[in-house]
Amino acid sequence: MSTADDIYIPAVRQPDPLARRFLLFTSWLLIVAGTTLAVFLWNDPSISSARVIGNFAVAVIGTIALCLVQSGRQHLAAQLSVWGMWGIVSLLISRDAGIRSMGILSYPVILADGG
């Protein structure tokens, strides 16, 4: 007669190379896009400083996620990317025009990034 301990075999989580490459690409994309947009918007007087700070925050999230992927913490890097971007997009949308904001189109992209 087998017991519950005999049946339970813990699954060994192997690192997924495709997920790692995707997270590396996403992290670098956040870094480059956030920094580039922030630098270009910095010189425009009609753009609010909150938008520039939001783009720098995107670059910071990408940098932290890249460090997490490099240290082997892929799951945490994916969560940081998704939830961090969700928060930043939500703040920028609420500050701009609410539901009429063009930033609302970012939510499907964030959902697709989350898998």
Burial string for 18-56 (b: 16+ CB within 10 Å, else e) reads: eeeebbbebbeebbeebbebbeebeeeeeeeeebbebbb
- Residue 44 is which amino acid? D
CA distance 94 to 101: 8
Give pLDDT tens digits for 24-53.
Answer: 999 999 999 999 999 998 988 888 787 888
Domain range list for the chain: 16-114
- Top pLDDT among 10 and 33 is at 33
Least confident of 10-14, 19-23, 98-102: 10-14
Quote the tokens at residue 113. 């990034």
Nearest to 87, CA basis, from 110, 113, 105, 56? 110
Going by pLDDT thresholds of 50, 70 and 90, the confidence category of residue 1 is low
User: At residue 68, does pLDDT exceed 80?
Assistant: yes
Give pLDDT tens digits for 74-98.
Answer: 889 989 988 888 888 888 888 877 7
- Top pLDDT among 69 and 49 is at 69
- Residue 77 is which amino acid? A
User: At residue 12, does pLDDT exceed 60?
Assistant: no
